[in-house]
């Protein structure tokens, strides 16, 4: 199978490196030219969870015209706000049978992919893995977690099982599910409870569960978000707050993706995470003061950055 990683930041690079251990042909794609050129020249270095270093030899490019073949599978890991242009930039290369698997954070992503590829080409997934881009050509695996994928609607198809098997062969614990929309909304709660708070305070994920104040703030944000999500029709699990804390502990050394964006003075995914809860709260007339405040604070911070795309 030929796999294109569309959005080879920290997570995309991690997934691409793991898949390069299978029979699949893998190419990383990112507009971060320095990262891609370093990977081509020196390989991708992963600081593994046990502290060891692994170097992966990988194909990588920063211009769509340099993607070497037509992919069978495109794993979409660009930031949610970049989904539309990123998919558009590679669509011409793909076959009718190419599968687009989105593993992105936030809600609304698979719909944006499907607008361009058609719903039949889309698989959706969610991952609790954590990864940090340390510098060009080097990432840190910040925490192991389950990856779940399936069709946007309905029971897991044969192709979902095949893609899940490929990820497992690469060493990523992966399951298939017939309830992906719900799982995407449950992952949203995790990001609501971890990302903005870590971005605003500079802490790593583990502190969310350790610090009394961080835990209280995260709990308040998640409780609001669960209320809104349930009112929207998603029966979010009862123990969602504990689940968020468990993921914060499992990815304790990781800086959340939003934390990394802020550290690098990059635009964040706030609109697709806490911002999505604020919009929905307004629509459903459910108060969401904590998520509103977190969203406003992140936006204030962002407004001081010069926007960059990678």
Q: Which residues are catalytic?
A: 187
Its sign, for the CA torsion 145, 111, 167, 198, is negative
* CA-atom Rg of the chain in angstroms: 18
Output the smallest distance, CB 270 to ligand KPL, in A: 12
The phi-psi region of residue 24 (left if phi > 0; otherwise alpha if psi is between -120 and 50; otherwise beta) is beta
Measured distance CA(133)–CA(131) in Å, rounded: 7
Output the smallest distance, CB 248 to ligand KPL, in A: 7
Q: Which is nearer to ligand KPL, 251 or 295 (CB)?
A: 251
Measured distance CA(195)–CA(211) in Å, rounded: 15
Q: Which is nearer to ligand KPL, 163 or 270 (CB)?
A: 270
Measured distance CA(220)–CA(246) in Å, rounded: 16
Q: Summarize as ranges the residues that interact with ligand KPL (CB under 6 A).
A: 105, 128, 130, 190-191, 194-195, 205, 247, 251, 254, 256-257
Helix, coil or strand: residue 214: helix
Output the smallest distance, CB 255 to ligand KPL, in A: 7
Alpha helices by DSSP H, listed for 78-179, are 83-91, 109-117, 158-169
Output the smallest distance, CB 202 to ligand KPL, in A: 14
Measured distance CA(235)–CA(230) in Å, rounded: 5
């Amino acid at each position: 199978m030929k796999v294109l990683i569309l959005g080879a930041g920290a997570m995309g690079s991690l997934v691409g490196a793991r898949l390069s251990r299978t029979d699949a042909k893998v190419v990383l794609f990112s507009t971060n030219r320095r990262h891609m050129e370093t990977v081509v020249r020196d390989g991708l270095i992963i600081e593994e969870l046990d502290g060891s270093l692994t170097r992966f030899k990988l194909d990588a490019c920063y211009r769509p015209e340099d993607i070497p073949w037509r992919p069978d599978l495109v794993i979409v890991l660009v930031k949610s706000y970049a989904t539309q242009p990123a998919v558009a930039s590679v669509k011409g290369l793909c076959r009718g049978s190419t599968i687009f698997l989105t593993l992105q954070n936030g809600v609304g992503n698979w719909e944006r992919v499907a607008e361009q590829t058609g719903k039949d080409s889309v698989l959706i997934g969610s991952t609790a893995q954590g990864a940090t881009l340390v510098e060009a050509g080097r990432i840190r695996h910040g925490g192991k977690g389950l990856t779940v994928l399936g069709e946007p609607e309905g029971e897991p198809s044969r192709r979902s099982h095949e893609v899940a098997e490929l990820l497992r062969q690469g060493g990523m614990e992966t399951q298939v599910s017939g309830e992906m929309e719900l799982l995407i909304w449950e992952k949203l709660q995790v990001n609501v409870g971890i990302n903005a708070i870590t971005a605003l305070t500079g802490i790593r994920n583990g502190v969310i569960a350790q610090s009394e104040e961080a835990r209280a703030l995260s709990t308040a944000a998640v409780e609001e978000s669960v209320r809104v999500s349930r009112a929207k029709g998603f029966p979010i699990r009862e123990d969602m707050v504990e689940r968020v804390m468990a993921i914060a502990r499992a990815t304790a050394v990781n800086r959340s993706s939003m934390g990394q964006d802020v550290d690098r003075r990059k635009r964040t995914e706030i609109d697709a995470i806490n911002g999505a809860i604020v919009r929905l709260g307004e629509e459903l007339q459910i108060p969401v003061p904590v998520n509103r405040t977190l969203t406003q604070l992140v936006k204030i911070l962002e407004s001081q950055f010069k926007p960059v795309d990678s």
